[in-house]
Amino acid sequence: MTSDDQYQYGKMNRPNNMDKLVFILLFIFPVLYGYPDKEEILREINKETKELLFADNIPRKLIDMVKGIKNIKDKTIRSEMVCRTCEQVIDNVIDLRKSEATKDVMVDYLNKLCRAYTDNSPDACKGYVNIDIDSVLFIIDHKKDFTPARFCAIRLQHYQCVDPDADPWTIPLPPPPSITNPSVHPVNGTKEMQVLHLTDIHYDPLYKPGSNAKCADPLCCDSGTPANPEDAAGFWGDYNVCDTPLHSIDDLFSRIKEKHKNLDLIYFTGDIISHRSWSTSIQENREAIRLVLQYFAKTFPNTTVFPILGNHESHPSDYFSPEVTLTTNVTTEWIFDLVAQEWSKWLPNDTQSTIKHGGFYTALVRPGFRIVALNSNVCFTTNLWLLYQDKDPFDQLLWLVQVLALAEKNGEKVHLLSHVPPGEESCHKQWSNQFKKIILRFAKTITAQFNGHTHIDEFRLFLDNEEPVNVAYNGASFTTFVGYNPNYRIYQVDSSELTVTNYDHYIYNLTKANENSNVPPQWFKLYSFKDAYGLEDLSLKSLKSLFINMNTNNSDNALAEKYYRYRGRESDSYLKEKCDDNCKKTIICCITSVETSTTLNC
């Protein structure tokens, strides 16, 4: 029931210091020192959860206990407590439905659970439950072996919850070729291509400059008068929990059109829809998706756009339902049908069948240069349908292997587009593990990967026996969600080798832009990769040495400091949070963590 990005960005929780003190005194301290014991706290939570069904008010005590558990410092104890609490809660939900509870009773109970276990406002909880309820009930009613352990192991995989019945599925790989086919090089070596990378626009049709930017909902800046004038939503966007107004999108496209007349290709790696995921609808998502894609088409009539789906495009947000739901009202096939049609202006028509099947496709840019565009959102742990079936949804990874094997055979080079980056901690562990295996196997065919979703400017390096074999670039985000400066990026790509040789990252200072709403934001180049990090090129070898230099020079490490600053595009809001040595270690560790289970240990 929580909005997907809540865990990731952390900033959406608004901890109250007084509450924290109460938990520490009442719960954490006793938990760590053995009194009252863990079992007693779990029993208490279970009792309260059951009684919630009949409660008129949400007991504050329950919220406190759960938050207290999340604050436990000892990782093992915390994980055990979180997982067992989760299992108890879900057990109660399943039991209630199995005892013939009606949809109305379930809605009422889920609402109470949402209020008791999350920071969502009553309105947001109500919205989430109404949107989710039919899918939730479909899964409880139709999935025979649905267990609380399954729910918690998938949904709370970052707490290392375990499902003893989990199926460790694998995707078979063809053996490496005995002879490597020569690459197809139909283009003369010297020319470089310019590739625009845009990602995570998150258009908010309700954005209202001057409205309250500090509200109780998971997304603000749409209504209300701020108590404090400083909390009024900025004209061009806001560092608070807010998405993007239409006039900022308009400015983005006019700026790129004016300044970059030599674009060869455009990669758009998803997330058009705002984070107001408790009140989306198919109709409104459809309109927003059409509108934003129209901007691409109208601004760049002569440039091919390769778009992919973000997790937010669907309704309910993040859900991608399997074929078994096709004839029911919980199916999400509308989103595949919509983009099959909307993307067709850029794509060959033989992409239609895979897009309609699962939202992914492959297309040749020219002989020897292939795009593979994934719908990696299916691996997102908030995709409820993973609970129904987590084994390679839509057979996408199986398809990926076939496409890459054929590309390898034909001597083609591949650019891989995928919304969710490798190693993202909310990507299903098994999917992530198999994806990594596939990349390692076809590392010579894939010359670069392009991602979005985290809203962070970062890159990931695939190592095979310590040797760098592949790289994934994250285009960060145009949305400011949460606390970032908006950006776009332009890669220089070697026309012949199809490797990225450099990129330029463009931003504006949102604080400054908002000082004067009458003039357009002042875009500028924040950095060029090679210059910024003192590299001769962006070869895998150079990237590895950059990684090593960041790692070995710990304190006063200028490279790591730079990497940190650029992650949030040097926004005033982001720079306020200092990154100490531990924080730097974590972000550097993430560079070579290309699989969920490794990232969780960073």
Ligand X SMILES: *[C@@H]1O[C@H](CO)[C@@H](O)[C@H](O)[C@H]1NC(C)=O
> What residues are designated binding site for Zn(2+)?
200, 202, 271, 311, 419, 453, 455
Distance of CA 563 to the CA centre of its chain: 20
Query: 10 Å Cβ neighbour count for 147?
Result: 17
- Is residue 511 part of the contact set for ligand X (CB under 6 A)? yes
Residue 349 in the binding site for ligand X (CB under 6 A): yes
We find the least distance from the C-beta atom of residue 523 to ligand X, in angstroms, to be 13
Whole-number minimum distance, CB 411 to ligand X, in Å? 16
Q: Does 552 bind ligand X (CB under 6 A)?
A: yes
User: Which has the closest alpha carbon to 577: 7, 6, 2, 9?
Assistant: 9
Contacts with ligand X in 405-444 (CB under 6 A)?
A: none
Pairing of strands 192-198, 524-528: unpaired
Rg (CA), the chain: 24
Taking the CA atoms of residue 580, residue 585, residue 586 and residue 592 in that order, the dihedral angle to the nearest 10 degrees is: 150
Tell me which of 17, 228, 302, 601 binds ligand X, using CB under 6 A.
302
Give the residue nearest to Zn ion (CB): 271
Say how many residues touch ligand X, by CB under 6 A: 19
Closest approach of ligand X to the CB of residue 559, in Å: 7
Instruction: Provide, rounded to whole angstroms, the least separation between the CB of residue 133 and ligand X.
Output: 8
Tokens of 22: 């109460």
End-to-end CA distance of the chain: 27
Q: Give yes or no for residue 192 binding ligand X (CB under 6 A).
A: no
Residue 200 binds which entry of ligand X, Zn ion, none, with Cβ cut-offs from 5 to 8 Å by kind?
Zn ion
- DSSP letters for 222-239: SSS--SSGGGBPPSS--S
Nearer to Zn ion by Cβ, of 441 and 505: the residue is: 505
Omega cis (within 30) before 482: yes
For residue 132, the partner it binds in Zn ion, ligand X, none, with Cβ less than 5 to 8 A by kind, is none
Stretch that binds ligand X, among 17-25, 142-150, 456-464, 545-553 (CB under 6 A): 545-553
Q: Which residues pair with 492 in a beta bridge?
A: 194, 502
Q: Is 301 in the site for ligand X (CB under 6 A)?
A: yes
Site for ligand X in 167-186 (CB under 6 A): 186
Q: How far is the CB of 379 from ligand X (least distance, A)?
A: 26
Min CB(346)–ligand X separation in Å: 14
Nearest C-alpha neighbor of 30 from the set 85, 69, 75, 84: 69
Residues that bind Zn ion (CB under 5 A): 200, 271, 310-311, 453
**Residues 319, 312: Cα–Cα separation, whole Å:** 9
Residue 352 interacts with, from ligand X, Zn ion, none (CB under 5-8 Å by kind): ligand X
Smaller CB distance to Zn ion: residue 200 or 457? Answer: 200
Q: Which helix (H) or strand (E) is 39 found in, with range?
A: helix 38-52
What residue spans of 99-198 are helical by DSSP H?
A: 103-117, 122-142, 148-155
Report the greatest alpha carbon distance in the chain. Answer: 73
Q: Compare residues 317 and 470 and give the one whose CB is closer to ligand X.
A: 317
Q: Which of 30, 411, 570, 600 binds ligand X (CB under 6 A)?
A: 570
Note whether 244 and 480 are within 8 A (CB).
yes
Angle between helices 558-567 and 540-552 (to 10 degrees): 110
Cβ distance to Zn ion smaller for residue 453 or 569: 453
Pick between residue 310 and residue 368 the one whose CB is nearest to Zn ion: 310
Q: Which residue has the tokens 């929990």?
A: 241
CB nearer to ligand X: give 33 or 524: 524
Residues near ligand X (CB under 6 A): 103, 134, 186-188, 301-302, 329, 349, 352, 509, 511-512, 549, 552-553, 570, 572, 575
